[in-house]
């Protein structure tokens, strides 16, 4: 984290002492495993609709939406469900007894997804780890002595050691965490994947569109991976934590290739909790989920009543509003149109998951800082991404239900496009 004077000098921003006291307290007492952007969202009414509100009184258009978790800040649908459950339902966390809320959640999520069973959890990590467990348990069942699981390069499945020690695109995930976990192969592309498959292959796990990796969008790799899995009779699972619930135009990103290409299992999260509750889930076919037996996996808050109430409200809303997919496509197309023609910048999207690709710079963090802290109207919050060779990325993932066309146009014309046109100058100045 750069200090106060450096940020003021670099971006011309004046951050109130109240904000700096919050930043200093966080840095003093929190583990430094995050490096937040230096704004402080105010305690009361700090987020509503598509906007964040800072203690200095600035209104900031949120184009990250909690990494695709937020449909709309202060969304009344999950808030009503949670309020009702807390006031007249139960706060039971234990899966040691049956609960009506968990049964309702199981019925609703399997109906929505078309899968047979669900393993509930509370975040992406706690839902992706059991995918790997299931692959290994299936391998044991099949008598595979040295099982091997295939992951795709530039993926992000959370920060469990299984994944971080094998991650290739972000050294901060794996440095100092010891050797790579045995039995995991990370392949650069689908061609390498096809060559790697052998009698020891226990499963394939991938993101259809790699949200954290760029975003990087599918170029046909998923269909080929699915076909390879079927040919060799091995399970395939997809991570829809960032791409599910119409983020990419379809209810699930894999559906872009056609309904016949349904994976054996799918991981959900983020948006499932409506932006207010940590909820995630692994859903799968009867065959895939059959390896889970009592004691083989668990989650203290996986399936607890308030989380189930929130998730059920989100599922009901999504089932009743399939037009969300068309709206996501419209959002992405509008950003792409507004930002077309900027030198050295290309815009790609799948629905409302949007990637800005900028040539000839080494980082996009100064651009995101300028949009957030500079004297722009509106100020804009979005996430700098990774750099591959000569191309640096910015991720845009606006709140689908709250973002309006006028907000998109204003943000693109007044803030995003002007900053992108000055990208090399801004990055060179260190802002």
| pLDDT number for residue 5 | 54
Q: Are 183 and 253 in the same domain?
A: yes
For residue 93, CA distances in Å to 25, 105, 268, 304 come to: 32, 14, 20, 4
Residues 6+ apart with CB under 8 A from 235: 134, 135, 138, 202, 203, 204, 229, 264, 265, 288
Q: Which of 93, 36, 99, 48 is nearest to 74 (CA)?
A: 48
pLDDT band at 1 (very low <50, low <70, confident <90, very high): very low
Q: Backbone dihedral region of 130: left (phi > 0), alpha (psi from -120 to 50 degrees) or beta? A: alpha
Most confident of 13-17, 94-98, 120-124: 120-124
Strand order of the β-sheet with 184-187 is 117-121, 280-284, 265-268, 236-239, 201-206, 148-152, 184-187
Question: What's the pTM value of the predicted model, to 2 decimals?
Answer: 0.93
pLDDT band at 91 (very low <50, low <70, confident <90, very high): confident
| Residue 246 preceded by cis peptide, ω within 30 | no
Q: Are 294 and 353 in the same domain?
A: no
What average pLDDT score do residues 170-176 get?
73
From 256, 288, 320, the end of a domain falls on 320
What average pLDDT score do residues 163-181 get?
73
The domain of 302 spans: 76-320
Which residue matches tokens 């990494």?
67
Q: Are 151 and 275 in the same domain?
A: yes
CATH number at residue 21: 3.90.1150.10
Q: Are 315 and 329 in the same domain?
A: no
Q: Are 415 and 311 in the same domain?
A: no
Give the separation between CA 364 and CA 198, rounded to whole angstroms.
40
Report the number of secondary-structure helices (H) and strands (E) in the chain: 16, 15
The continuous run of DSSP H or E covering 128 comes out as helix 124-141
| pLDDT number for residue 182 | 84
From 301, 320, 339, the end of a domain falls on 320
pLDDT tens readout for residues 192-209 = 999 999 999 999 999 999
CA angle 232, 109, 155 (to 5 degrees): 50
269 neighbors 123 (Cβ within 8 angstroms):
yes
| Residue 378 preceded by cis peptide, ω within 30 | yes
pLDDT tens readout for residues 227-259 = 999 999 999 999 999 999 999 999 999 999 999
What average pLDDT score do residues 324-342 get?
98
Q: Are 153 and 292 in the same domain?
A: yes
| pLDDT number for residue 58 | 93
**Counted domains in the chain:** 2
From 289, 320, 351, the end of a domain falls on 320
| pLDDT number for residue 12 | 46
Q: Are 423 and 279 in the same domain?
A: no
Q: Are 346 and 303 in the same domain?
A: no
Residue 100 has pLDDT above 70, yes or no: yes
| pLDDT number for residue 158 | 78
| pLDDT number for residue 13 | 52
| pLDDT number for residue 34 | 85
Give the separation between CA 334 and CA 421, rounded to whole angstroms.
18
Residue 33 has pLDDT above 90, yes or no: no
Q: Which percentage of the chain shows pLDDT scores above 90?
A: 80
pLDDT band at 82 (very low <50, low <70, confident <90, very high): very high
| pLDDT number for residue 299 | 86
CA angle 94, 98, 103 (to 5 degrees): 110
Strand order of the β-sheet with 59-62 is 47-48, 51-53, 59-62, 379-381
């Amino acid at each position: 984290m750069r200090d106060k004077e450096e940020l003021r000098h670099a971006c011309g921003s004046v951050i109130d002492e109240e904000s700096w006291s919050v930043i200093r307290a966080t840095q003093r007492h929190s583990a430094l495993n995050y490096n937040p952007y230096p704004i402080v969202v105010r305690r009361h009414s700090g987020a509503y609709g598509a906007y964040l509100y800072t203690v200095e009184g600035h209104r900031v258009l949120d184009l990250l939406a909690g990494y695709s978790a937020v449909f709309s800040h202060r969304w009344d649908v999950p808030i009503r469900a949670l309020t009702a459950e807390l006031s007249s339902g139960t706060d039971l966390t234990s899966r040691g007894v049956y609960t009506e809320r968990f049964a309702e959640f199981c019925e609703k999520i399997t109906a929505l997804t078309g899968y047979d069973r669900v393993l509930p959890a509370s975040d992406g990590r706690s839902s992706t780890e059991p995918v790997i467990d299931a692959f290994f348990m299936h391998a044991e069942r099949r008598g595979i002595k040295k099982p091997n699981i295939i992951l795709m390069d530039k993926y992000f499945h959370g920060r469990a050691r299984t994944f971080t020690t094998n991650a290739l695109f972000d050294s901060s995930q794996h440095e100092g965490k010891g050797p790579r976990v045995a039995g995991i192969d990370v392949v650069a592309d689908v061609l390498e994947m096809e060559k790697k498959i052998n009698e020891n292959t226990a499963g394939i796990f991938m993101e259809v569109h790699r949200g954290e990796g760029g975003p990087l969008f599918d170029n046909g790799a998923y269909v080929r991976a699915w076909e390879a899995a079927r040919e060799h009779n091995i399970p395939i699972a997809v991570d829809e934590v960032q791409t599910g619930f119409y983020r990419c135009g379809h209810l699930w990103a894999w559906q872009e290739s056609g309904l016949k290409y349904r994976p054996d299992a799918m991981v959900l999260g983020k948006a499932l909790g409506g932006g207010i509750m940590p909820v995630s889930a692994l859903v799968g076919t009867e065959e895939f989920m059959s390896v889970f037996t009592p004691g083989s996996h668990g989650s203290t808050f996986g399936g607890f009543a308030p989380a189930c109430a929130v998730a059920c409200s989100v599922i009901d809303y999504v089932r009743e509003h399939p037009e969300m997919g068309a709206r996501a496509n419209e959002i992405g197309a509008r950003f792409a149109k507004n930002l077309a023609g900027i030198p050295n910048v290309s815009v790609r999207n799948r629905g409302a998951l949007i990637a800005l690709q900028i040539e000839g710079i080494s980082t996009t963090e100064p651009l995101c800082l300028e949009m957030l802290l500079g004297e722009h109207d509106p100020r804009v919050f979005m996430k700098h991404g990774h750099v591959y060779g000569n191309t640096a990325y910015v991720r845009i993932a606006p709140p689908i239900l709250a973002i309006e066309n006028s907000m998109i146009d204003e943000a693109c014309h007044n803030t995003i496009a002007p900053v992108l046109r000055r990208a090399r100058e801004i990055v060179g100045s260190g802002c």
